[in-house]
Structures are given as structure tokens and as C-alpha cells.
Amino acid sequence: MKAIVISEPGKPEVLQLRDVADPEVKDDEVLIRVLATALNRSDTLQRLGLYTPPPGSSPYLGLECSGTIESVGKNVSRWKVGDQVCALLSGGGYAEKVSVPAGQILPIPAGISLKDAAAFPEVSCTVWSTVFMMGRLSAGESFLVHGGSSGIGTFAIQNSDS
Ligand SMILES: NC(=O)c1ccc[n+]([C@@H]2O[C@H](COP(=O)([O-])OP(=O)(O)OC[C@H]3O[C@@H](n4cnc5c(N)ncnc54)[C@H](OP(=O)(O)O)[C@@H]3O)[C@@H](O)[C@H]2O)c1
């Protein structure tokens, strides 16, 4: 498969599209053919050499993705080949395929395109859980978003305005 590889720590120019080995799929994992991924702060920090993914993670960037399930491990019963899903990743979204534990897979929310769902597991869920579940933002209240130009900030501003 092809993946975006960090050739050396640095600016965006260090990212290179290369042929790499396909990921292995463990018994409790599924293999997703990636349609779309997202850009989070950790990706830029990893590119700069300032963030190390957890042991055993894919070496490639990408903490969330959407796509179609291409194969399932033998312990996985909830998902099947051909399902369109999104997933929270410990890395590996910047590749044509990624293997991920089945418990980190989510269905595509109604009314959301498969492409847009790539930003659902990390960005959307972070904003929703902090602003609405923990913060309980309600109609008529004001809401200050620090770092409003961030990925998290832009999503929070768009979705707290309705
Ligand atoms: N992305 C996620 O899913 C996620 C999940 C959990 C927690 N978080 C946390 O949420 C925060 C935002 O994450 P993100 O992924 O949305 O990041 P991001 O898109 O990279 O945005 C970073 C933001 O920080 C601002 N910033 C950077 N350095 C600054 C400085 N020295 N002074 C003032 N502002 C500065 C940037 O401003 P400029 O645009 O002006 O440079 C930008 O608004 C981070 O603390 C991250 O750890 C993110």
C-alpha cells in the first residue's frame, strides 16, 4: 500500500508518499481501506518529532479515519467486510489501509458523508463531550473558545452556534 511517511523530523516538506508493507490484522481488529483522514495537533507534533505514538501503534500519522472494512479478525462479530465506518486510531490514518481494534470503530452518523465522518471520532467527539456533555452548554448561553483557529476551535464554534 501507499502511506505518507515522515522522512525526517521537520516541516511539511518532510512528508513523502511511499510504498510500504500492508498492516497486519490481529484477531480482534479490522482492516479499513481508508477514504479520508483528518489533521490534528498531534499529527503536526509527530511530524516535528515531538510526539511518539504508543508502543505497537502504526508509525504513520493519522488519529482518525473513515473508509470501508476490507477484512475482519476472527474474533470480530460486530463488523463485516464492506461496512462503511469511521475509527479512532493510535496512528496510521495517512495510509491506504489501517488495522484497528474493533472497539475503536464507529458507524457513520446519519446525515454525515463518509468523507466528513473522518473527523468524527476525534475532533467531533472531543468537542461534543467537553462542550455539551461536561460543559452542558445550553441555548442562550455564551461560550468562549480559546484558540478558535484550531481544528478543535473551528469545530466548536460551528457547532455551538446552532
Ligand atoms: N484534535 C483533537 O482531536 C484533540 C483531542 C483532544 C485534545 N485536543 C487538544 O485541543 C487543543 C487544540 O488541538 P487541535 O488539534 O485543534 O490543534 P491545532 O489545529 O493545531 O490548533 C492549535 C491552536 O493553538 C494556537 N496556538 C499555538 N501556539 C500558540 C501560542 N503560542 N499562543 C497562542 N495560541 C497558540 C494556534 O493558533 P494559530 O492558528 O494562530 O497558530 C491554533 O489556534 C490542543 O491542546 C490539543 O491537545 C485536541
Residue 43 CB less than 6 A away from ligand 1:
no
Read off the pLDDT of residues 72-127 as tens digits, 9 standing for 90 and up.
999 999 999 999 999 999 999 999 999 999 999 999 999 999 999 999 999 999 99
Domain ranges in the chain? 2-160
Nearest CA to ligand 1 atom 6: 126
Residue 104 CB less than 6 A away from ligand 1:
no
Nearest CA to ligand 1 atom 38: 149
| Entry pTM | 0.90
Is the pLDDT at 160 greater than 90, yes or no?
A: no
Residue 153 CB less than 6 A away from ligand 1:
yes
Residue 151 CB less than 6 A away from ligand 1:
yes
CATH superfamily label, 2-160: Medium-chain alcohol dehydrogenases, catalytic domain (3.90.180.10)
Is the pLDDT at 162 greater than 70, yes or no?
A: no
Residue 41 CB less than 6 A away from ligand 1:
yes
CB atoms inside a 10 Å sphere around CB 37: 25
- pLDDT (0 to 100) of residue 60: 97
Read off the pLDDT of residues 3-31 as tens digits, 9 standing for 90 and up.
999 999 999 999 999 999 999 999 999 99
- Measure the CA–CA gap between 128 and 135, rounded to whole angstroms: 9
Using alpha carbons, select from 116, 8, 6 the residue that is nearest to residue 61. 6
- Measure the CA–CA gap between 64 and 68, rounded to whole angstroms: 13
- Ligand 1: which of 37, 130, 150 to mutate, judged by most atoms within 8 Å of the beta carbon? 150
- In sequence order, the 6+-apart residues with CB closer than 8 A to the CB of 51 are 42, 45
